[in-house]
Chain A
Amino acid sequence: MGRYLRRKITIYILTFFVAVTLDWMIPRFMPGNPILILVSRFTGLPQSAKVMYSYLVKAFGLDEPLWKQYLNFWIAFLKGDLGVSIYMYPKPVVDILKQAVPYDVALLLPSITLSWIVGNKLGAVAARTKKLDSIVLPIFYILTATPYLWLGILLAWFLGVVLGLFPIAGAYSFSTVPSFSLDFILDFLGHWILPFLSLFIVMLGGWAIGMRNMIIYELEADYVKYLESLGASQQLIRKYAFRNAVLPQVTGLALQLGTIVAGALTTEIIFSYPGIGYILLEAILHEDYFLIQGCFLFIILGVLLANFFIDIIYVIIDPRIRYSYGGEI
């Protein structure tokens, strides 16, 4: 088990290294001078353009040799310094992102876990009979083909505007102040439900299809034939098939994280939900490069941590990994 985790951690450290390097490299090796592009927006204000230019040259450290720039980037990064936002000057990028992260967690954690659990159950039920399968499978396929952002638009328009059931912008009403009162929590949940649903529903389809296919595959396996010949009940056989089918679904969760995060980014934009996706849009619209870089690093860090967490869960639920890597019985 230790060897398995060590191998995984090596990949994560390497990924992180590559990600930070890319983050450093891209503005420097892109065609055109990033600083000139940034400063060009101050053409009407020659005085501030000058100040901006010297600040940016210093911030990028462009007057130093390349290897030293790279080293400085890492040192600053490890100190938690991601630069200063241009659009929300003089707020440090790290502070802006720290405020956004709780909203992302509040949205992603429940939607991913719930859709995974419900999707797996639905998929297992669909694999039970051909009739049910032929009805629900097309629905699952349509769901998984839906862009997150479009479902967000659809829900906002129908449930938010036409029926007027839920608010469609922000994380809470302007009139309320964040606190642990019942009023605020209800207000927060009202704002949270639509973005949550758009993520939950789209993901649901994918998990259900995966589980359905895995169960059908598992029912062909030798152990199922053996159980059948022993006269085991269908219920028992399905229970074993489900357990075996869950494992690839856990791996699937790790593989899907990137897509899910991308979906969450666009969903937050639809509902003006103040997570990293919304900040990223603001950063892009205002060409705030430090903030864009910071968002990128935060997203990567989050995905890496989640991957690591899933790996640990995998070791816990699959005894074979524990045995094959650790030798313990």
Chain B
Amino acid sequence: MEAISTRRELLFFALRNKKMRVGISIFTFFVVLAIVGPHLTGYDPLDYVGPGYHPPCREFWLGTTTFGQDVFTQLVYGLRASFFVGLLGGGIATIIGLIVGFFAGYRGGMIDEILMMMTNVMLVIPTLALLIIIAAYLPYRGILIESVIIGLTAWPWTARAVRAQTLSLKTREFVDLARISGMNSIRIIAEEIAPNMMSYIFMVFILQFGGAILSAVGLDFIGLGPTRGISIGIMMQQAVLWNAIQLGMWWWAIPPGLAITLIVGSLYFMNTGLDEVFNPKLREM
């Protein structure tokens, strides 16, 4: 009963929070666009369907590329790819970060030393540089592989943050009680520590989701994204390669990045909004 009422209370504060409302609205808009969009257009993202260099009109909502591909179609298919990378890449990064952080924080000692050494090493190596070198040697890359690579390299900061949180929870009475009653470490982490960090974990996932989308855009842009298909990064790469900027084709060069900025921005909004919801102290600010 109590759990339901606190959940309702949180929902109430979440829906009353302005940042949450703005964030959720923008995010939902793009999710709906990614789901419905491909059904609204009769074209294929890579098909040559109309005259090239065409500015936005009723037939081509966001104009066409130099070759006559429909920009709107490319955008909505690209959004699907972005959400996929965010979900999978961000998910993998969050899970690895959680596992490393929990074990380092809870077990301490030698395990902590080794795991943190690993984390610090990974933290210094620029993720994109590592992604480049891995992706460069994979002759055929799909969006799945890209997400996995991003997930495998983006976890270090999460591990550090989760470790710090675990360290502070570890000394609390209910954890001591669980330990005295003979629970093993994995069960204590899963049943005592993790549930107490649920709000924090959710916020970490939101940030990893946005981070994965941005990483994918960068990777696709330098030509190491999926070898087939379309994505927002590939759209921007094509636009720059074919001089869309110099030719003043704003409808090709600007909208893809604008969509990404709004999506990632809405995620950051939700993140701070959630922070205020879960943290009553911040609500008064």
Contacts and interface: CB of A to CB of B under 8 A. Distances in A.
A15 B124 contact: yes
Interface in B116-138: 117, 120-121, 123-130, 132-134, 136-138
Contact of B124 (A27, A130, A144, A307): A307
Contact of A266 (B127, B221, B267): B221
Interface string A287-312: 10100110110011001100100000
Contact of B128 (A32, A157, A262, A281): A262
Interface string A169-181: 0000000000000
B257 A154 contact: yes
A87 to B, nearest CB: 13
Given A12-B124, A18-B125, A300-B126, A262 B218 contact: yes
B261 A142 contact: yes
Nearest to A269: B222
B280 interface: no
A323 interface: no
Main secondary structure of the interface of B (DSSP, over half): helix
B170 to A, nearest CB: 23
Interface residues of B, number: 51
A66 interface: no
A34 B137 contact: yes
B258 interface: yes
Given A26-B133, A32-B139, A262-B126, A15 B222 contact: no
B214 A147 contact: yes
Nearest to B248: A161
A157 B248 contact: yes
B53 interface: no
A150 B126 contact: no
Given A145-B268, A160-B245, A292 B133 contact: yes
A150 B261 contact: yes
Contacts of A262: 126-129, 215, 218
Contacts of A303: 124-126
A168 B268 contact: no
A265 B222 CA distance: 9
A203 interface: no
Residue in A30, A153, A287 with the greatest tally of chain B CB atoms within 10 Å: A153
Interface residues of A, number: 61
B134 to A, nearest CB: 6
A75 B137 CA distance: 23
Given A12-B124, A147-B217, A303-B124, A284 B133 contact: no
Interface string A10-41: 01101100110011001100111010010000
Residue among B121, B126, B138, B253 with the highest chain A CB neighbour number at 10 A: B126
A258 interface: yes
Nearest to B126: A258
B84 interface: no
Given A26-B133, A269-B240, A147 B257 contact: yes
Contact of A141 (B125, B127, B272, B285): B272
Nearest to B18: A134
Given A32-B137, A153-B240, A262-B215, 9 more contacts: A12-B124, A22-B133, A37-B139, A150-B256, A153-B236, A168-B246, A265-B128, A281-B222, A284-B136
Contacts of B89: none
A157 B257 contact: no
Nearest to A14: B121
A19 B134 CA distance: 12
A157 B250 contact: yes
A329 interface: no
B223 interface: yes
Interface in B97-153: 117, 120-121, 123-130, 132-134, 136-139
B258 A150 contact: yes
A296 B133 contact: yes
A280 B132 contact: yes
Interface in A259-274: 259, 261-263, 265-266, 269-270
B246 A142 contact: no
B79 interface: no
B125 A26 contact: no
Nearest to B128: A262
A23 B133 contact: yes
B132 A284 contact: yes
A149 B217 contact: yes
Contacts of A317: none
B212 to A, nearest CB: 13
Interface in B200-250: 210, 214-215, 217-218, 221-224, 236, 239-240, 245-246, 248, 250
B265 interface: yes
